[in-house]
């Protein structure tokens, strides 16, 4: 996998929460679901995203917003509209007084709102789990970013809008992949912009030396890499590679590799049939003991403790 695929692969949707909202003003929803990552795409009409801290952003048709949790935020037709709906963890929906609002869900397949033909339609995709691999990505994002629909051309929003209301066999898997595609497309567009603040690893991927080193680390984390072997593969000296890698990525090659291996291990350990020994081999550690030692040193818990915590 390349750096973009690998580091965007963390927030891969698995049974993500997807919803089409059809609304007639005035409307306002206070989001308290504590999700690590949410994507909101405007199909028609407009809306405001109002973060708990920071500047509000207006969405127009074709615009996409990414909200990094778990802080609360509000989505509304107008900055002055008082929330009428509160979305809690598990997507439980109540009024501000805590009363359940079951009537808000009776608008069709994956469709919710206060009107069946409202002038506003938005799509929401919520990632409910934070992957360890994605932590390096998520930590680089602002609490709210918006890509304007008039600045990029993507068929993914209308495609997702048409698929979200279908209830065919395998539909959840299709929607998960469409959500992933839209997320990656939006982030790639964001990172190419001067104000997008692309992380060092993303920019470094374009460098002929460091980019090659990153490719090798991401494609083959199980190999016994050293600075010397990476330097030989990239055609520069050890000192030159270490200096250039650290300057562009923000940390030395072996430190980066350790974090990458342990992030991969953290995800692999959550697989139902994974063993510590098998995961150790996949990410470049010679034994379960070596992985456990490195894992606990960096993360403060053993691989088995991490796996138990993620399954509770």
Q: Return the pLDDT at 267.
A: 82
Which residues, in sequence order, are bridge partners of residue 23? 120
3-state secondary structure of 47: strand
* Most distant CA pair in the chain, distance: 67
Kindly tell me if the per-residue pLDDT of 216 is higher than 50: yes
- Distant-in-sequence, close-in-space partners of 267: CB < 8 Å, separation ≥ 6: 10, 131, 132, 133
Is pLDDT above 90 for 270? no
pLDDT value, residue 14: 60
Q: Which of 63-77, 127-141, 143-157, 191-205 has the highest mean pLDDT?
A: 63-77
What percent of the chain shows pLDDT beyond 90?
A: 44
More confident residue, 129 or 117: 117
pLDDT at position 90 = 80
Percent of the chain beyond pLDDT 70?
Answer: 88
pLDDT band (50, 70, 90) for residue 230: very high
Who wins on pLDDT, 237 or 130?
237
- pLDDT score recorded for residue 1: 44
CB atoms within 10 A of CB 153: 7
- SS3 label, residue 284: coil
Distance in angstroms (rounded) separating the CA atoms of residues 255 and 261: 10
Report the pLDDT value the prediction gives residue 54, as an integer from 0 to 100: 84
d(C-alpha 187, C-alpha 154), whole Å = 13
Determine the pLDDT at residue 150. 84
pLDDT exceeds cutoff 60 at 166: yes
How do residues 78-122 score in pLDDT, each as one tens digit?
A: 999 999 989 888 878 888 888 887 655 566 667 788 888 889 999
């Amino acid at each position: 996998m390349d750096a973009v695929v690998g580091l965007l692969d963390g927030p891969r949707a698995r049974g993500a929460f997807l919803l089409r909202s059809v609304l007639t003003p005035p409307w306002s929803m206070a989001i308290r679901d504590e999700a690590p990552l949410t994507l909101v795409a405007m199909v028609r009409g407009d809306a405001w995203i109002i973060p708990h801290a920071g500047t509000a952003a207006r969405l127009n048709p074709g615009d996409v917003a990414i909200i990094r949790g778990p802080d609360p935020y509000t989505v509304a037709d107008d900055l002055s509209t008082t929330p009428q709906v509160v979305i809690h963890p598990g997507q439980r929906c109540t009024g501000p007084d805590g009363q359940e609002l079951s009537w808000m869900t009776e608008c069709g397949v994956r469709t919710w709102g206060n009107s069946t033909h409202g002038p506003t339609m938005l799509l929401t995709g919520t990632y409910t789990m934070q992957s360890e691999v994605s932590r390096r990505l998520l930590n680089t994002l602002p609490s709210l970013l918006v890509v304007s629909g008039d600045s990029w051309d993507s068929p993914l929003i209308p495609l997702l809008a048409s698929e979200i209301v279908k209830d065919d066999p395998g539909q959840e898997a299709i929607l998960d992949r469409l959500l992933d595609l839209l997320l990656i497309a939006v982030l790639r567009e964001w990172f190419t912009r001067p104000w997008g603040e692309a992380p060092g690893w993303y920019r470094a991927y374009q460098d002929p030396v460091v980019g090659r080193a990153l490719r090798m680390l991401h494609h083959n984390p199980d190999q016994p890499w050293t600075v010397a072997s990476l330097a030989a593969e990239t055609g520069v000296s050890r000192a030159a590679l270490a200096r250039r890698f650290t300057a562009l990525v923000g940390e030395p090659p072996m430190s980066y590799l350790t974090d990458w291996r342990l992030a991969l291990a953290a995800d692999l350990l959550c697989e139902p049939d994974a063993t510590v020994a098998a995961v150790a081999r996949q990410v470049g550690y010679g034994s379960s003991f070596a992985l456990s030692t490195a894992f606990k040193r960096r993360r403060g818990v053993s691989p088995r403790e991490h796996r138990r915590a993620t399954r509770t």
